[in-house]
Structure 1
């Protein structure tokens, strides 16, 4: 079967398309999936460009969606023909995070082989059902970006109608968070450096928009718009944006620290955070039960992901280059 793998030490120009042995039929507790789509995340880009070291020949991509071809002995949750989507942490079924998910050692496309492949044979518990009526490309956006947004707002944040949510930028997590927040009756403030993208988020329901390049002190503007600060911040920037997010959050509010787009470390205004008595919580995606809950909600509310562009599998390097340019709005998907 055809796969897209990475030659060490990494780099988009070191993505190799090669043929490997078919994984065969599923054993007890396993399913065989004909994969048809993946979606790009910042984590995938870091692996591909060598920012996160991976084993030589690692098959790329954490997200995978496709159709069950066969089920092994003892599998009752799935049957051939079911559309499924992978889990970011296949070893994390439910409950609170533990040492097992304190690294990416068990994450597809990083510590283990990923889903840039025609077929996969995995434990049935490494997948969930996809939302009804979704394409494989749409379903692939759930594994990382969609579930991250869901956990940040609904699981950890306990989002409720009438809350105010700040989303930073217009990547996959932020757009999913915007959609979830609006579906649950929240007010949303969105930031971007592009007026064109801000018009797009306004069309998706954002109540207020801020161009952070034109207003580098956007935290104060957010605070002014709300009168007391926002209840939730979906913080994908990291050290370069965290101080402004702390300014923007209300007393007793919640900041979900998700991304490191501006760097991996930096100063934290601890006095300001303490004065706000805000909760700053780091998170990395979520567990299988949370993914199932998210998909149950998607089956009810009719929400669909925003896909900016679609590429073929042999265009994966071009897809990563487009992602690195920052020009995308929402998700980038690869289909085959």
Structure 2
């Protein structure tokens, strides 16, 4: 089969090659990949600043895929040949709290990912792809949509009428705005682009704040919430911006720390966290059980993934370059013809 191999760190070392098609072992599915979507995690792995000590070389990267089961190993009972499935990042995190070693069993690093014509997914971690979505659409769900869902519903315990803050207009934030809006929450979005703020308002955001023209954006959030702050903040930026997230979130509110776009370290001002009794929860996607709950909600509310561009399999490098420039919603690579 054809597969993209990361032979060393750096996008110039991501190369298309011929490799042996894997054979499904006990409990495993062989999936003909229809499409994959890119996340910041994938870029960080290729660039060498995401747990580089865990990256095997060569590696078939990219965790998020949708495709069709074409063969099954011994003992498979959850899926049959011909069914469409989603991958799930954590191949062993099925329910409850994560185990300490969950990162050791992630697709796309250190386990082989989906940037290939075929991939192996264990039946226990596979999720039925929504019938209402194409492979391109379904491929956007495993990290971006699920992170938003888990942050809002399972960790934030979102209630109708509450207020949610989403940062930027990437995949997680766009899904969070769509899900929160569908659930009856008010959504405030930040972005450096007025055009993107207009677009995310069309998807359910109620207000938008340009953080370039309003660098003290937390004050604007407070003004929009009568000084109270939001109930849940989806922080994708990381870095020292966490202090503004604390200021923008209500007393005893929740910050879902899902990203590190502006840095993996921060200088956190503890006194506001203490006095405001803020919960800062690190989010590394979610268990499969949350994925199983999310997909029917997306179908019920007719939530469609927002895809900025779909690239052909041979143009995977161009897709990564696009991701580096930023995107509204998701970047997808179509694998199957």
Judge same fold: TM > 0.5, yes or no.
yes
Aligned to 1:165, what secondary structure does the other structure show? strand
How does 1:1-336 map onto structure 2 within 5 Å?
Answer: 1-8=1-8, 10-24=9-23, 26-52=24-50, 53=52, 54-101=55-102, 104-227=103-226, 228-326=228-326, 328-336=327-335
* CA displacement at 1:239 relative to structure 2: 1.7
Aligned to 1:178, what secondary structure does the other structure show? helix
* CA displacement at 1:121 relative to structure 2: 2.8
* CA displacement at 1:21 relative to structure 2: 0.8
* Paired residues of 1:157 and 1:232 also in contact (CA < 8 A): yes
* Stretch of structure 1 that moved more, 114-123 or 153-162: 114-123
* Paired residues of 2:42 and 2:62 also in contact (CA < 8 A): yes
* CA displacement at 1:294 relative to structure 2: 0.8
* CA displacement at 1:127 relative to structure 2: 1.1
Distance in 2, Cα, partners of 1:128 & 1:138: 14
Q: In the comparison of the two structures, how many residue pairs are matched? A: 331
Aligned to 2:262, what secondary structure does the other structure show? coil
Kindly provide the CA deviation profile for residues 219-249 of structure 1, in whole angstroms up to 9, marking residues without a partner as x: 0110111011100000000123211111110
* Stretch of structure 1 that moved more, 14-23 or 27-36: 27-36
Distance in 2, Cα, partners of 1:98 & 1:76: 25
Kindly provide the CA deviation profile for residues 142-187 of structure 1, in whole angstroms up to 9, marking residues without a partner as x: 1111110011000100111001000000000000000010010000
Using the size of structure 2 for normalisation, the TM-score is 0.96
Aligned to 2:205, what secondary structure does the other structure show? coil
* CA displacement at 1:299 relative to structure 2: 2.5
* CA displacement at 1:73 relative to structure 2: 3.3
Distance in 2, Cα, partners of 1:129 & 1:294: 11
Distance in 2, Cα, partners of 1:306 & 1:122: 25
Distance in 2, Cα, partners of 1:121 & 1:144: 18
* Paired residues of 2:33 and 2:117 also in contact (CA < 8 A): yes
* Paired residues of 1:35 and 1:120 also in contact (CA < 8 A): yes
* CA displacement at 1:252 relative to structure 2: 1.2
CA RMSD of aligned residues (A): 1.1
Using the size of structure 1 for normalisation, the TM-score is 0.96
* Paired residues of 1:91 and 1:100 also in contact (CA < 8 A): no
Distance in 1, Cα, partners of 2:42 & 2:281: 22
Gaps of 5+ in 2: none
Distance in 2, Cα, partners of 1:126 & 1:19: 27
Gaps of 5+ in 1: none
